[in-house]
Structure 1
Amino acid sequence: MSMDEDRIIDLETRLAFQEHTLAELGDALADLRMENARLVLMVQRALDELRQLRAGLASGLTGDAASEPPPPHY
């Protein structure tokens, strides 16, 4: 083989490796985006639950005492 053929083979090998690596990185990026979307949804749900709990506590603190049942010791 000539020196030019060796260089071409080397360049083709490097290109194939880079294409493979690029495909792996693309797959990893897609996985990370899906995981990020899942985590964002979880945080949004947790914040919604926290807001509901706070609203429930706030309404319980300002609610009408007459509408509350008597404590069990009465």
Structure 2
Amino acid sequence: MADSTHLEEQIAHLTRTVEELSDIVARQETELALAQRRLAMLMEREAGREMDAGGTVPLADQKPPHW
């Protein structure tokens, strides 16, 4: 009996840990999506500023010289 009780306790602990980790991953996914949207907006703004400043192709749209 003690063996099965120990296993049940261990399973309960592991289940709780998995649920907590799942919540953390879900929160991080939301935060990452928000950060990606903000980065895209900032890149668009900067590209617009570069176009307004010199009328050249924004550096963000140019391939590096090694390509």
TM-score class, shorter: 0.7 to 0.9
Q: Does 1:36 align with 2:16?
A: no
Count of aligned pairs between the two proteins: 55
Q: Match for 2:51 among 52, 55, 65? A: 55
Q: Identity of counterpart residues, as a percentage?
A: 18
Q: Quick one: which amino acid aligns to residue 46 of structure 2?
A: L
Tell me the TM-score normalised to structure 2 length. 0.80
The alignment partner of 1:48 has SS state of helix
Counterparts in 2 of 1:1-74, with a 5 A limit? 5-59=1-55
Superposed CA deviations along residues 19-41 of structure 1, whole A, max 9, x for unmatched, are 00000000000000000000000
Q: Quick one: which amino acid aligns to residue 19 of structure 2?
A: A
Q: What stretches of structure 1 of length at least 5 have no aligned partner? A: 60-74
1: CA distance, partners of 2:54 / 2:41? 20
Q: What stretches of structure 2 of length at least 5 have no aligned partner? A: 56-67
Tell me the TM-score normalised to structure 1 length. 0.73
User: Which protein shows a greater Rg?
Assistant: 1
Of structures 1 and 2, the one with the larger relative CO (CA 8 A, separation 6+) is 2
1: CA distance, partners of 2:54 / 2:3? 74
